[in-house]
Structure 1
């Protein structure tokens, strides 16, 4: 709020909020920005009055501050290195004013002056995904962090695709929203979502999003940050984090401020139909400083752009997404915090988004519609208690997911004998698959934070995951059930990690995770005697016990430079999978990674580089079974080499340039032979699928004032994804990738209201993001998944 000048004390402050009688520490989350914007946010988050008299100070660039601080502590960090200071003029009231360093006395010779200390890195960024909030300068590993305030409504609408566009180490398949798999830094097992876990652990706040299901593509509205930990994270996150972890941190309720916001937009798609999106957020303090509620609702309709020439239909792949979130926070005092969160989202796709090369870049010829659906819901309860540097966290979560897909394919001559190939005159059939996944998790952990990233963590966790898959073949007017499967996993885990500083600026981190997993399964829709006739032992319950050690070191060679090295492991337990009409077991797999790198941070330049080598044993790969559905088998042993570089440069106030490059090389070092029903040949596997040989990004963001109360914000990017293969063998070993994606966004307005223009795929390129549409037609048709054609979104946002 802007207050007019007045002779009274501090009524001349440019920006202020209601003062509290007594300061206390609060959660502060403010990105690097102009002074006027930053102190508005800090005033609201800490409940203090902060302002300045001289209007010229408004455009001063200040540092990012994140963590739990009092207002004075946050201001000290925010203004570090700037020629201004904050002076306390009354209880919970601060005045920001110019600061002139006293001149050095003439009698003191310059040669005898004590040298000034080197400035610490700008802003104190905490890596919260470490579960003990390690400062970025002390973290011994590869990490990428996206500030949630940088994500516009247009970007948030894209969900996981926005993360992929911003972070070059993250890749994804592109079967369709709610149907994809994520990969980090070249650790990719296959293109298909089968019974095995993903190689990436996905988390929403404190809770795991999925276990053995596709990425639900949750929209990124109203998030505090997105953190990507690169490399195996077995110690902290356990099974299913072979390539790394993606953690989205949503914004928590504000217990003091009644506020809200809304946004909307209309989308025009070249060669396609228009779309629209909108949503609203409400923050309501139910009891000042004690209970707060934050609720969010959103919806979107994305117009299709694929034409079906056989059915004479245009723009068939429309997608509708609706969802919401609610968060209730209770602060009963005595440093307790209790959070109850709920997330729900539904994605409905009218048809698949693939084309056929022989028909056209945005065209295909199908006999039936191939719709899909993804319903996702998550509820979790998190309680925290602080005792100084100690924190106890206890959480309980439940996640559910329903995924339905329909594919076109030729009718099987005999579903009981899929080795009998369909005839050329076979009628078109609809193959459907429904996955129902339910996961319950619980964890208790105690952490202690020390200086320079030192401290420790001890935790225990339980997990239960139940995944049921049902399949059908439908040829009008009849339907035939095919073999399905039920997989259940229970995990009990103890883990811990500790960091010490044996030498000045040098830290060592030790960790370990002991997990006991119980696995069981059964057949669905067919008699067990038939389903388990090839592998009778697959029906028996079994267990695995794994210990995953970790070791890391970090050396602060200078205040701005950190060198690090890391040894880490990850694993996935085994299970059972349908192959053709029968069920077989697959074994667990394991990765071991050695990584070394450096990170440099200064007010004008950030740079990070790393090199890693990964050994992967008993690789679980999702293949295509005799019907065309995904199945899982152990493909062999392999290795992945990766080099990554990321930089951000701020040459002048308001302008930031970023660049990233990742190079990957994968090879199967010991081949297992896998019978591929797709071509009925025993095929040797040579290269891991979906590992792009190179990926990179160039980006720019610019902010400038327009007059006294308007601001211009512009950003753009270009992202290149290199060549990879769809899968293994002569049929699935098709090339994909080798395309350039681009985007640009412009916003004009004030902090709480503005209009924006966003353009994606500026070059209107086609590319081939994914060489698959229907796995049942992969033998006979050359399928591609093009980029969405050039799209223009005109939007607005407002807050109160």
Structure 2
């Protein structure tokens, strides 16, 4: 198991004060046997090896835009989950709906937030754990980053080698594999306190053990995270003080939780040509709530006057709920990698099976109350009935990839292979409003549901895909190389839908069937030229794709006639396609002490799959937008001027917008649909992002080294969905459930820019490390995404980040 010592980047600065806090740490190779590092230092930047083209090469040699972060870099930058990772990578952004519910966007290519009740929508960024695809459009697995070798971020379409879902790019978690003939381990403990919130802690460990000399080795990883909460939930009032003012109970730190799991991998090498690696990965996430702050809630706001619905004023990190919310996410992956080296050719087989269940419990009382008490005018006591909405996702996926790749040193390098995927997904929702029928005398039992279940859905998806792919690179001269690749795919998807309850169009127990299919080809061409040994220029043309799907039916009993005309009769949506044109340069300077990489791109998008709120229907469907585009530039600079100090800066600028208008004609009036209008921004991605990192270390002697590490990130403003840009969207017409002081509520749907800084300092030797850290040094409250119920008429909220956090980390290795 290789190890080394390197100085990596981390940084911190305050945007307004203009101060830069520098830090440094000596790092090992990142594995269980990595040396902690003493006073030793290096005189040039670490060379990171990646496998972005299904073969081993250095980051600087890959002829397109790619970034890679080691596990230790991410840890010292305070990045322990996907949203924090995104703020450290130029051009990568995340729609954050809470732990285990993140959605990625690269280069501003996004169609908007996918809501948990849209099971037919596919991802735009492919997610891989080593060679196994684990992508899901909404429920991107939020894996713990402990004992990873690195995370690779491949920008731009990767459809040739990574297939559907890699339309905008690919993110790959690369783990440390078992190593022969070396017993090594690492253990880490962490304790933290959130300002104004709870306490958190974690324990993590990894061990590498040879079982049979030169033949068999085992690597095991385990971790337990106690996640601190920082959101308080105000509960309905049942008491008053001596002056008659309501006393609201408070449930503190409702978004706390637990994340635990591990990996167990076995490496078997019967001979020098064959390596077999079976592995199992398990993770469980269990949260008691969500990091949401409420700006308006129909049942808890300052505008009500009824004695049974007293006014509520919420603080900056508070929400209003009647019920306990939460998420349970069980993730299990089995995979088997087999590699056999022939003379000059390597055969690789990757088989993987994923079993995942996600159960989300939401307090939908405000949503239900906006229908029963708002639209239907039922009494307040009916509108306030507890309404838990339970979402259950159960999926199983099997994938098989087999490929042959050249392994020699000749001018021609190539890879060819085949891919098969069989994916089943069952998704359903149940809204149980106990006491509704008794309070209203409205019959609620249906063909499938029992009394008081007002909404029920059961989706059964069966998805199958096959693909053939190949890519070859030829080195015409020592300086000039050309790459061409192609992928052919064919897929089909079947769905059966059962709807029941008075809020739906009941389908009956047999449900309604739907299907969609597609096939096509995706090419890629790359030209690379080495101007010198320190400068490479490259150009790329590549196509990417995202498979189409089946729209969910509207909740027609809730729809207005106008919304039925606008959003109805859209049973399916088509494949989304992109052509990406890119030029870039990668430079090294000062004897390897510095690097500078830059890339400019133009992405032409056809049939963008835009997620749209279907007005009064309390439904969401997908519209195909004929044309959109994203144009921008990303740059990364890293430099180590001395052996004890280095720094890095990365930034991206993206101009992504819709280039065509989708209209609807209702009662003779034609108007754009839900913000799908030429010139409007694509959602999710900010126009400008920047992250900076600096490191400084001070050797006290030949054993002990002191360090201080800091990071800074700036994320520009953005929108959560395309429809958030419609004129007047930020004005909510209030339902009157028994007296209100004003008719409307106004909020700004544009998410403002934010700045975050982290700081870490400590001491370390070859075998141990002790550090103190402050994350979110300036206690910035960032609004990460807009959370709305019933198109904002029931609730307006924002997902937010963790406040200032203080902590201690202890780490040891052997």
TM-score by length of 2: 0.79
Aligned mates of 1:351, 1:42 — CA distance in 2: 33
- Contact 1:657–1:701 (Cα < 8 Å) also in 2: yes
Deviation per residue, 1:361-385 (Å, 9 max, x gap) = 1112222222122221111000001
Instruction: Select between 186-195 and 566-575 the one with higher mean Cα deviation.
Output: 186-195
Change in CA separation of 1:342 and 1:622 when aligned onto 2, cut-off 3 Å: farther
Aligned mates of 1:431, 1:464 — CA distance in 2: 29
Alignment of 1:261 onto 2:154: no
Q: CA deviation at 1:166?
A: 2.1
Match of 1:164 among 62, 78, 86: 86
Change in CA separation of 1:620 and 1:176 when aligned onto 2, cut-off 3 Å: same
Give the aligned partner of residue 279 of structure 2.
341
Structure-to-structure mapping, 1:299-448, within 5 angstroms: 299-310=224-235, 311-357=249-295, 359-410=314-365, 425=380, 426-427=383-384, 429-448=387-406
- Contact 2:543–2:577 (Cα < 8 Å) also in 1: yes
- Contact 2:39–2:700 (Cα < 8 Å) also in 1: no
Change in CA separation of 1:767 and 1:264 when aligned onto 2, cut-off 3 Å: same
- Contact 1:482–1:581 (Cα < 8 Å) also in 2: no
**Unmatched 5+ stretches in structure 2:** 9-24, 236-248, 296-312, 436-451, 557-569, 731-747
Change in CA separation of 1:39 and 1:712 when aligned onto 2, cut-off 3 Å: closer
Give the aligned partner of residue 765 of structure 1.
780
1:404 alignment partner, SS class: strand
Aligned mates of 2:777, 2:368 — CA distance in 1: 47
Give the aligned partner of residue 442 of structure 2.
none
1:168 alignment partner, SS class: coil
Deviation per residue, 1:514-573 (Å, 9 max, x gap) = 00111211113559xx9798xx99835442111001111111111111101111111111
- Contact 2:484–2:525 (Cα < 8 Å) also in 1: yes
- Contact 2:497–2:512 (Cα < 8 Å) also in 1: no
**Unmatched 5+ stretches in structure 1:** 1-26, 64-121
Structure-to-structure mapping, 1:133-152, within 5 angstroms: 133-152=56-75
Q: CA deviation at 1:468?
A: 1.7
Q: CA deviation at 1:30?
A: 4.1
- Contact 2:6–2:41 (Cα < 8 Å) also in 1: no
1:431 alignment partner, SS class: strand
Change in CA separation of 1:269 and 1:276 when aligned onto 2, cut-off 3 Å: same
Give the aligned partner of residue 665 of structure 1.
655
1:690 alignment partner, SS class: coil
Aligned mates of 1:756, 1:698 — CA distance in 2: 21
Change in CA separation of 1:130 and 1:681 when aligned onto 2, cut-off 3 Å: closer
Alignment of 1:614 onto 2:603: yes
Alignment of 1:649 onto 2:639: yes
Give the aligned partner of residue 482 of structure 2.
508
1:663 alignment partner, SS class: strand
Give the aligned partner of residue 177 of structure 2.
252
1:345 alignment partner, SS class: strand
1:539 alignment partner, SS class: strand
1:736 alignment partner, SS class: coil
Aligned mates of 2:702, 2:371 — CA distance in 1: 75
Change in CA separation of 1:123 and 1:438 when aligned onto 2, cut-off 3 Å: same
2:87 alignment partner, SS class: helix
- Contact 2:48–2:68 (Cα < 8 Å) also in 1: no
Change in CA separation of 1:320 and 1:452 when aligned onto 2, cut-off 3 Å: farther
Change in CA separation of 1:179 and 1:453 when aligned onto 2, cut-off 3 Å: farther
Q: CA deviation at 1:187?
A: 1.2
Deviation per residue, 1:687-727 (Å, 9 max, x gap) = 32112111111111223322221122332111111111121
- Contact 2:372–2:378 (Cα < 8 Å) also in 1: no
Q: CA deviation at 1:170?
A: 1.4
1:692 alignment partner, SS class: coil
Alignment of 1:715 onto 2:709: yes
Give the aligned partner of residue 414 of structure 2.
456
Give the aligned partner of residue 234 of structure 1.
159
Deviation per residue, 1:569-594 (Å, 9 max, x gap) = 11111121324338932221111110
Aligned mates of 2:623, 2:323 — CA distance in 1: 31
TM-score by length of 1: 0.81
Aligned mates of 2:579, 2:594 — CA distance in 1: 32
Q: CA deviation at 1:461?
A: 0.8
Give the aligned partner of residue 583 of structure 2.
596
Give the aligned partner of residue 744 of structure 2.
none
Change in CA separation of 1:307 and 1:610 when aligned onto 2, cut-off 3 Å: same
2:86 alignment partner, SS class: helix
Give the aligned partner of residue 84 of structure 1.
none
Q: CA deviation at 1:278?
A: 0.8
